[in-house]
Structure 1
């Protein structure tokens, strides 16, 4: 999955250092082996990095994006 993310960065012309190694590891763990989840989470992280005017996606950005409700699993959500 890590190779998939790096190939996607190559496709859009971004360097491999755009997403830090710990951030890539967290994206891979969060995607649960589903390439679409990994790609969508990566795109969300890149958008958040642009919003913050950051040149790199670090673990803080991945955590912030993954805490948004639409990234949560059904079992993680609490019914109020």
Structure 2
């Protein structure tokens, strides 16, 4: 009984893997690749923009995990 269950589980894993490879990697149902992904010039221009941004830090920020909003942390004046 255990051999049948193990064999069935192994077979289902193999079928799922083969289906994944055929559908996603070989694009059985077509699938598209955005032009930006395949365009080398777009990648170069994007990289230039990222490298050109100033690398200065802003004020410290804390994220509220409930509302997913960022709040700037202001220093407290003591005294």
Q: TM-score range by the shorter chain?
A: under 0.3
TM-score for both structures, normalised by structure 1:
0.25
Q: Which has the larger radius of gyration?
A: 2
Task: Report the structure, 1 or 2, having the larger strand content.
Answer: 2
TM-score for both structures, normalised by structure 2:
0.26
Q: Choose between structure 1 and 2 for higher RCO, CA contacts under 8 A separated by at least 6 residues.
A: 1
Task: Report the structure, 1 or 2, having the larger helix content.
Answer: 1
